[in-house]
Amino acid sequence: MAAEMTSMQSVSTINATFIRPSMFYISGFHNIPHAKYYYMFLCFVYAVTVLGNSFIMGIIYLARTLHTAKYIAVFNLALCDLCGSSALIPKIVDMFLFENQYISYEACLANMFFVFVFMALESLSLLALAYDRLVAICFPLRYHAIVTKAAMTLIIGVMWIFSVSIFALTVSLITRLSFCRSVVVDSYFCDHGPIHRLACNDNSINIIMGVICIAVLIFIPLIFITLSYFFIGFALLKMSRGFERTKAMKTCTAHLILVAIVYLPISSIYIAAYIIPISSNVRIFNTALTQTIPPMLNPIIYTLKTEEVLQSLKAIYRHTKVNSVMERAIKNAVTN
């Protein structure tokens, strides 16, 4: 309590009842032994995430065969995964591995904004890829006319504008809250729900925005992705040749795996929270893994499960090997 009262000093006041703390305290896990090993594991996750997503972005940039509408969306997914992990994991490691759990009011709001923006963009990128697969399988003859690079760039641009706008509004509404009781945030980052629940004044609009954000982050994209695969399944059943059906299904495999690892854990924890009481440790552990593991696995899945990426990788390797041989031959000729 003394730490809380200290952090409540140096406040900005509008009137006698409005209190804006200078700092928040991020509590993290409660009484879990050897929790530092978990944060060390997150360091490993972050390193793999940075390397993997940089690698897939580099492959898409270097391989001209991947300069298509679909891989614009894949590039955007890798970029969002890289930025989202960078907004979350280094701060988690700094707070809990080095016991630096106080964060300034302004830095906390910035952390909230960037974490949620890139979470939303990851979710919407999977929706854009579902749209790509829907058109490719249901309207194969019109695919290149519908899903153009210009159209996909426009879709991604709208996604960015929408995500930035809705979460800028959500975060700005936090500034109207007064925190007179506690500044201890029961989460592992500056999470919207645990923060607005600390407010002393009316937070009803923040609760509404929280519901809207959960819908935007999880349930609306998941509903549209599910509908798209319903139509894809119907189109596959209409295919007369088995090998065509198998080939079409293979193009969806990587995307379906990504959808499963992103949506199943986080949607289950939110649904379960409305049905049964869930301890904060379970909620924090599940949500943290959901936000950190998929960005690490996405590039691995797209590299190993997507034929176009494997072929492009082989082509780049052959091109690099040929160039290396030619350089050695030129050097030998000059030397002799």
Can you give the CATH number for the domain in which 143 is found? Answer: 1.20.1070.10
Helices (H), 139-241: 143-146, 149-172, 192-196, 204-214, 220-238
The two tokens of residue 248 are: 């079409």
- Reported pTM: 0.85
State which residues form the domain around 56. Answer: 22-320
Q: Does residue 104 belong to any structural domain of this protein?
A: yes
Higher pLDDT pick, 322 / 143: 143
Quote the pLDDT of residue 18: 75
Residue that has been written with the tokens 């963009």 in this structure:
121
> What are the tens digits of pLDDT across the range 20-31?
888 999 988 777
Overall size of the chain counted in residues: 336
CA-based radius of gyration for the chain: 24
Q: Is 8 helix (H, G, I), strand (E, B) or coil?
A: coil
In a domain, 76, yes or no: yes
**Do the domain assignments include residue 243?**
yes
The C-alpha atoms of residue 131 and residue 224 are separated, in whole angstroms, by 9
Residue 207 counted as domain residue: yes
Question: Which residue would you say has higher pLDDT here, 256 or 271?
Answer: 256
Would residue 280 count as lying in a domain?
A: yes
User: Residue 69 falls within a domain, yes or no?
Assistant: yes
> What are the residues whose beta carbons fall under 8 Å from the beta carbon of 168, sequence distance 6 or more?
113
How many domains would you assign to the chain? Answer: 1
The pLDDT value recorded for residue 17 is 66
- Quote the pLDDT of residue 5: 43
Instruction: Express each pLDDT in 182-226 by its tens digit.
Output: 889 988 899 998 899 999 888 899 999 988 888 888 888 999 999
- Kindly state whether residue 91 falls inside one of the protein's structural domains: yes
Q: Is 330 domain-assigned?
A: no
Lowest-confidence segment of 122-136, 194-208, 289-303 by average pLDDT:
289-303
What stretch of H or E contains 26? strand 23-26
Whether the per-residue pLDDT at 248 is higher than 80: the answer is: no
Give the per-residue pLDDT at 3: 45
